[in-house]
Amino acid sequence: MSIDILFASVDFSRKIDKEQAVKEILPLITDEYTFWDPYREITMIPLVTKTGAVGLESISNRFDGEFTWAEYAPPTVVEYFENVVFPWMGQRSRLMILITKPFAANAEHIDSKIHEVGQRKHKFRIVLQGRVDTLYFKTTAGDAYVPEVEGAFLMDGTWAHGMDNTTDDIKITLALGSPWEGHETYGDEVTLLMNRKDYKMPEDLSIYEEKPGGATYK
């Protein structure tokens, strides 16, 4: 499978214990560990960063040092990523918990720079609590919603997208992105569900681009 992924499921033989992971994450949803990303309109908790620090400052250093787990990182998430996800990726990368309130919407945005549109910028996600199929991509034919999947998935970070939490509970997502940008090809563990060749981007992408002063997480 090539880089034409808009949305694809990732089916590892071993699944993360979502229920246990959520139990360990819920106590972290406090002002001590979270910060607000005004660009995506979402609450974030850093787990793996270049600094291992807490809050918005934890993502300011994108280049120097080694990726480090935050000291409060949930043990279930640490064990799973160290033994399943990172070996599959071939590296560590920045990892965040994304928190979306009940019936809240994330702002439509692009998880890359405009000049990177069309390049291979795959983002890895696992929804621990909530639905996947309220994620959508912006297209010239309207909003294209993704199918519901149980496990992990890949998405094209260069495509404008948004999400509505349609449930009465918080949505909890593990989000991993740069510097990992995806593999050129994947094995049988990845199933292509939406091919970006089948869709057309909106002509004006500038309205989805991050403006100065927003959070810098990609």
Under the banding of pLDDT at 50, 70 and 90, the label for residue 115 is confident
Which residues is 8 bridged to in the sheet?
A: 154, 192
Return the pLDDT at 52.
67
Average pLDDT over residues 89-114: 90
Return the pLDDT at 218.
42
Please name the residue ranges forming H helices in the chain: 18-25, 75-80, 86-89
Return the pLDDT at 128.
98
Give domain limits for the chain.
Answer: 5-208
Q: What is the pLDDT of residues 125-182, one digit of tens each?
A: 999 999 999 999 999 999 999 999 999 999 999 999 999 999 999 999 999 988 899 9
Q: Over 50: is that where the pLDDT of 3 sits?
A: yes
**Measured distance CA(7)–CA(158) in Å, rounded:** 12
Give the tokens for residue 162: 């948004």
Q: Over 50: is that where the pLDDT of 30 sits?
A: yes
Average pLDDT over residues 11-30: 97
Identify the residue with better confidence: 3 or 197: 197
Please name the residue ranges forming H helices in 26-128: 75-80, 86-89
Q: What is the pTM of this model?
A: 0.91
In degrees rounded to 5, what are phi and psi of residue 85?
-75, -55
- The answer to whether 194 and 45 have CB atoms below 8 angstroms apart is no
Q: pLDDT averaged over the chain?
A: 89
Q: Over 80: is that where the pLDDT of 49 sits?
A: yes
Q: Over 80: is that where the pLDDT of 63 sits?
A: no
Question: Quick count: other Cβ atoms within 10 Å of Cβ 19?
Answer: 10
Return the pLDDT at 64.
67
In degrees rounded to 5, what are phi and psi of residue 131?
-100, 150
Q: At 110, which amino acid appears?
A: I
Which residues is 146 bridged to in the sheet?
A: none
In degrees rounded to 5, what are phi and psi of residue 96?
-130, 155
Radius of gyration of the chain (CA): 16
**Measured distance CA(17)–CA(19) in Å, rounded:** 6
Fold designation for 5-208: Jelly Rolls (2.60.120)
